[in-house]
Amino acid sequence: MTFDRDRSNPPEIGGGLPVIEYWAKKTLSPQGAKIWKTLLHKSACLSCAWGTGGQKGGFVDEDHQGLQRCAKSVEAIASELQPAIAPEIFDLSIAELQKRNSQEVNNLGRLSHPMILRSGKRHYERISWQEVFEIVTAAFQKPAERVASYSSGRSSNEAAFLLQLLLRTLGSNNLADCSDLCHAASTTGLKTMFGSGTSMVSLESLQHADCVVLVGSNAPANHPRLMNELIKLRDRGGKVMIINPLIEIGLVKFGSPAFPIRSLLPGSEIASLYLQLVPGSDTALFVGIQKALIEQNLVKWNYLRNVTENWEAVINQAKSTAWTEITETCGISQLEIEAAARMIGRARSVVFAWAMGITQHENGVDNVYSIANTALLTGNAGKLGAGTMPIRGHSNVQGFGSMGVTIHLKKEIQQAIEILLGRSLNLSGGYDTRALIEAADRNQVDTLLCLGGNLYAANPDLTEAKRALGKINTIVYLATKPNLGHFHGLAAENTIVLPVFARFENPHRVTTESGNNFVRLNDSGETHLKDADLISEVEFLCELAARLHGNHPIDWRKLQDTRYVRQLIARTIPGYEKIGQIDETGEEFTIANRVFTEPKFPTSSGKAKMFATPLPTLDLPNPEAFGISRNIPHIVLALGTGRSYAQHNTVVYQADDRYRGMPHRNCILMNREDVRQAGLQEHQRVTVQADAGKLEDVEIIFGDIRSGAALMFYPEVNSIFRAKIDPRSGTPAYKRVAAIVYAQRQFHS
Ligand SMILES: Nc1nc2c(c(=O)[nH]1)N[C@H]1C(S)=C(S)[C@@H](COP(=O)(O)OP(=O)(O)OC[C@H]3O[C@@H](n4cnc5c(=O)[nH]c(N)nc54)[C@H](O)[C@@H]3O)O[C@H]1N2
Ligand SMILES: Nc1nc2c(c(=O)[nH]1)N[C@H]1C(S)=C(S)[C@@H](COP(=O)(O)OP(=O)(O)OC[C@H]3O[C@@H](n4cnc5c(=O)[nH]c(N)nc54)[C@H](O)[C@@H]3O)O[C@H]1N2
Ligand code: SF4
Ligand SMILES: [Mo]
């Protein structure tokens, strides 16, 4: 691809007119009427967990604010409204299909019929539902510890509840979920500290904050409506602190279509203070902020004594860590850290929000602890307008956790299910996502059910993922659209791809839970796919369970009526009692005991438990460790991997990222000075290599990124690295991959 200079000039604000242009282009297209119909349908937005839609209508959030739909919602809907895949596509052999990239695969259209790739065959072929159930039922009759599921948070609470009940009734605790790759560090960290693993801040509470500290999040692209809250906070005189190794233009200035006159064109200022730290060093920065809070006498001692435990360890650590160690680790000066501490310590109520820049590290849980410790030191947990707020990913990923799709099942849920089944559950072992891949690679998994997602491409080391999945006998993918996993994540015997309804098409009502703990009711709908043979996830799971377990003690076929599933949820899931009446009242609700406006927490003592957080050691290997000679121009970097503006996780919608000036997918965003010192140039094609492989012909793009750091896009980049794993949460360190960038041989020969 030739480089288009115009496209490399990133805009000076995030959001802005391009968003409106995108809306207009999509909603005025031939597909436009269907997009509008779907936007107005009473169901939750498909895209991110910020959450909007549901019974209040397409554009209204739980706080009754209007105009709360962003272009990302349109992007996700447009993708599901594609026509069915042309049947001729399946005349192509699997080898030919494997040549397509993520965007091309997504653009094939919607899955419309059940398909199977049988062992030894080169083509996917149609299969009847009868044979599907015969094969899958037989596959699930393997020993329970050799049966597993993986899920992704686009599905409903009802499907999630049934999935875990099905696996647990079998005796399997192998419930891997995309959250293992995502916010597991937040769940683990917050649960041990506060006794609750989700955000303690509601949307309403956020609106009472006068300071937001936003860490490791690219909200302008991934949670755009959060930007409206930041704009309003700045308008009311509040402060926003951004902590990120990369200057994301939308975090500096954002033009929001929700405020067309004052914000859209000029853009609203977002960051009051932008701390561009070394990737992976957040714990050091927060320990520094704690040290400065102590030195500036801004610690709330009475609060610490009354409502927290082990605060002395945190105070001692901050006091005894030298300033030089802190500043050398995080690369932020003492002066800036002191300014940050002043901003936090002097604010009335501070919300600490974070996303993948915090969790996807080898010390992800410590990162979360260090943020929460800072909140506690300043009395910012358990009051209106303050608290810890992990910004969740998929639109219902949090609901999956609540429904018990986890290898760490809550005691209360366990007891309730044991009463339901009349016997005890097997909760030993259990594979999270990384453990599942490793177990499969050791030949310990026979059968895998994937409820959505793209297990293959979401993992690090795609060669390993492919090999491991290839050792599983039967893999069943339930999906709305084809993705790379359906063509690369192939089982040893049967790979079955089953087409399901999208959220707004389901023949029954379902519910979803947002990252702000709000439960939405989604109306039933219709699909635009006319001659298709789709199944609802709920129907599939109930039919499979009925064939496996009969109708006692649970009448599985009756659960195809989702009202009965909600009755079971009301009886088994803590905080979800109100779902028992939702069919009659239509009343959506905030889950009980999650949002804290008093400093009383659901831990054994009622106090928050604090933990000291060791500073990370952030070394990078020598070029020789990669087998690269020092004689060719090179640089070893901390490579961060994540999303471009126009993709949803492993699904690419558009190749470029206009806000970062990256014209195509095979780019690396680097610091200008790093490039110069390495003897390389902008737009030069280089090789990027890590511990599992290399990508060639990668174009260097200059960006405002911290020296020593770089950015590339997943899923493509997942082919080159193995990733370190946070031992406490199981999450891969996608945000700090040791990589070498070097000149391609031909450039110098
Ligand atoms: N449009 C769209 N929306 C989405 C998604 C999508 O793919 N597309 N995905 C959904 C999902 S599942 C998720 S999990 C979320 C992801 O939402 P984000 O977490 O915002 O997404 P990432 O692309 O992973 O970007 C993380 C940010 O962390 C910064 N960062 C990297 N390393 C560090 C570090 O060491 N410290 C700090 N402080 N910052 C760092 C990066 O520069 C980047 O700005 O979005 C959800 N919403
Ligand atoms: N290098 C790198 N890797 C990462 C990350 C990173 O930042 N860097 N981020 C990680 C994170 S945070 C996450 S969450 C994972 C994402 O991992 P996954 O959640 O596994 O992947 P997605 O790409 O979101 O899955 C998309 C597919 O879901 C299916 N789908 C969509 N809607 C529905 C539905 O309603 N029902 C069903 N059954 N299927 C549906 C479609 O077939 C679509 O192709 O990736 C992780 N991998
Ligand atoms: S912010 Fe998230 S939930 Fe809200 S409309 Fe945009 S994509 Fe949907
Ligand atoms: Mo995620």
Q: What is the pLDDT of residues 290-305, one digit of tens each?
A: 999 999 999 999 999 9
Q: Give the number of whichever ligand sits closest to the CA of residue 45.
A: 3
* Contact assessment for residue 73 and residue 46, using Cβ atoms and an 8 Å cutoff: yes
Q: Average of pLDDT values for 706-716?
A: 98
What's the confidence (pLDDT) of residue 66?
A: 67
Give the Å distance between the CA of 641 and the centre of ligand 1.
9
- Cβ of 78 closer than 6 Å to ligand 1, yes or no, is no
Residues with CB under 6 A from ligand 3: 45, 47-48, 50-52, 69-70, 72-73, 223-225
Q: Could you read off the pLDDT of 222-276 as tens digits, one per residue?
A: 999 999 999 999 999 999 999 999 999 999 999 998 898 888 889 999 999 999 9
Please report the pLDDT score of residue 67 as a whole number: 65
Ligand 1 lined by 72 (C-beta under 6 Å): yes
pLDDT bucket at 4, cuts 50 / 70 / 90: very low
What is the C-alpha separation between 400 and 513, in angstroms, rounded? Answer: 9
Work out which ligand 3 atom sits closest to the CA atom of 514.
Answer: 3
C-alpha 649 – ligand 2 centre gap (Å): 5
CA of 181 to the centre of ligand 2 (A): 10
CA-to-CA dists, residue 104 to 481, 498, 652, 712, angstroms: 12, 20, 9, 20
Choosing from 46, 178, 186 the residue with most ligand 2 atoms within 8 A of its CB, the one to mutate for a pocket test is: 178
Res 749 pLDDT > 80? no
Residue-level pLDDT at 53: 86
Averaged over 582-601, what is the pLDDT?
96
Q: pLDDT band at 3, cuts 50/70/90?
A: very low
With b for 16 or more beta-carbon neighbours within 10 A and e for fewer, the 701-724 pattern comes to bbbbbbebbbbbbbbbbbbbbbbb
Q: Is residue 6 scored above 60 in pLDDT?
A: no
Atom 46 in ligand 2: which residue has the minimum CA distance? 458
Task: Residue 671: name the closest of 706, 647, 645 by CA.
Answer: 706
Q: Which of 526, 522, 513 is closest to 574 using CA atoms?
A: 513
57's CB contacts (< 8 A; 6+ apart) are: 40, 42
Ligand number nearest CA of 226 is 3
Does 580 have pLDDT greater than 50? Answer: yes
Identify which has the larger pLDDT, 266 or 63: 266
- Per the DSSP assignment, residues forming a β-bridge with 147 are 447
Q: What is the pLDDT of residue 9?
A: 76
| Rounded (10°) angle between helices 323-330 and 282-295 | 140
Alpha helices by DSSP H, listed for 273-383, are 282-295, 301-307, 311-320, 323-330, 334-346, 356-359, 364-377
> Please, are residues 588 and 51 in contact by the beta-carbon 8 Å criterion?
no
Q: Average model confidence (pLDDT) for the chain?
A: 95
Weakest-pLDDT range from 30-34, 158-162, 302-306, 415-419: 30-34
**221 in contact with ligand 1, CB cutoff 6 A:** yes
* CA-215 nearest atom, ligand 1: 38
- Percentage, residues of the chain above pLDDT 70: 98
pLDDT value at 285 more than 60: yes
From the CA of 434, the nearest ligand is 2
Position 24 scores a pLDDT of 86
708 C-beta closer than 6 A to ligand 1: no
pLDDT of residue 8: 57
| Atom number, ligand 1, closest to the C-alpha of residue 279 | 35
Pocket of ligand 1 contains residue 177 by CB under 6 Å: no
- How many angstroms does the Cα of residue 185 sit away from the middle of ligand 4? 12
* Nearest atom of ligand 1 to the alpha carbon of 397: 12
Structure tokens at 318: 């901050």
Ligand 2 centroid distance, CA of 452 (Å): 8
The mean per-residue pLDDT over the stretch 518-540 comes to 97
DSSP summary character for residue 741: E
Ligand 1 centroid vs 219 CA: distance in angstroms?
7
Q: Is the pLDDT of residue 566 over 90?
A: yes
Residue 452 CB less than 6 A away from ligand 2: yes
Q: With 90 as the cut, is the pLDDT of residue 592 above it?
A: yes
Ligand 1 pocket test: pick from 244, 398, 726 the residue with the most ligand atoms within 8 Å of its Cβ: 244
Query: Does residue 599 have a pLDDT over 90?
Result: yes
| CA-49 nearest atom, ligand 3 | 3
Work out the pLDDT band at 148, boundaries 50, 70, 90: very high
CA 35 – CA 542 distance, rounded (Å): 31
Q: What is the CA radius of gyration of the chain?
A: 25
Please give the Cα distance from 371 to 50 (Å, whole number). 21
Counting from 1 in the atom list of ligand 3, the atom nearest the Cα of 68 is 5
Q: What's the rounded Cα separation, in Å, for the pair 230 and 119?
A: 53
pLDDT in tens, 449-475: 999 999 999 999 999 999 999 999 999
What is the arithmetic mean of pLDDT over 529-551? Answer: 97
pTM of the model: 0.97
Task: Tell how far the Cα of 61 is from the centroid of ligand 2, in angstroms.
Answer: 24
How many A from CA of 252 to the centre of ligand 3? 20
Ligand 1 contact via 222 beta carbon (within 6 Å):
yes
Q: To which residue do tokens 């030089």 refer?
A: 324
- Give me ligand 2 centre to Cα 179, in Å: 10
Q: Which ligand 2 atom lies nearest to the CA of residue 393? A: 14
Cβ distance 307 to 607 under 8 Å?
Answer: yes
Q: How far is CA 349 from CA 228, 239, 304, 371, 377, in A?
A: 18, 11, 16, 15, 12
Q: What are the b/e assignments for 575-591, b being 16+ CB within 10 Å?
A: bbebbbebeeeeebbbb
pLDDT at 7 over 70: no
> Ligand 1 centroid vs 356 CA: distance in angstroms?
5
Q: Which residues contact 87 (CB under 8 A, 6 or more apart)?
A: none
Q: State if residue 506 touches ligand 2 by the CB under 6 angstroms criterion.
A: no
Residues with CB under 5 A from ligand 4 (ion): 182, 393
DSSP 662: B
* Ligand 2 centroid from CA 453, angstroms: 4
Q: Is 453 in the pocket of ligand 2 (CB under 6 A)?
A: yes
Ligand 1 near 48 CB (within 6 A) = yes
Q: Hey, is 422 helix, strand or coil? A: coil
Amino acid at 557: R
Between CA 465 and CA 454 the distance in angstroms is 11
Is there an atom of ligand 1 within 6 Å of 363 CB? no
pLDDT at 2 over 50: no
- CA of 280 from ligand 2 middle (Å) equals 24
Alpha-carbon distance of 64 to 19, in angstroms, equals 23
Strand-pair partners of 354: 215, 390
The candidate with the shortest Cα–Cα distance to 506, out of 23, 35, 38, is 38
Residue 455 Cα to ligand 2 middle (Å): 8
Average pLDDT estimate for 526-549? 97
**Ligand 2 in reach of 454 Cβ (< 6 A):** yes
| The ligand 3 atom nearest the CA atom of 223 | 1
How many angstroms separate the alpha carbon of residue 487 from the centre of ligand 1?
Answer: 26
Q: Indicate the pLDDT class of residue 312, thresholds 50, 70 and 90.
A: very high
Percent of all residues in the chain with a pLDDT value above 90, rounded to a whole number: 91
Cβ count within 10 A of residue 95: 9
Residues recorded for the chain: 749
If you take atom 5 of ligand 2, which residue's CA is the nearest one? 642
Residue 746 confidence (pLDDT) above 70 = no
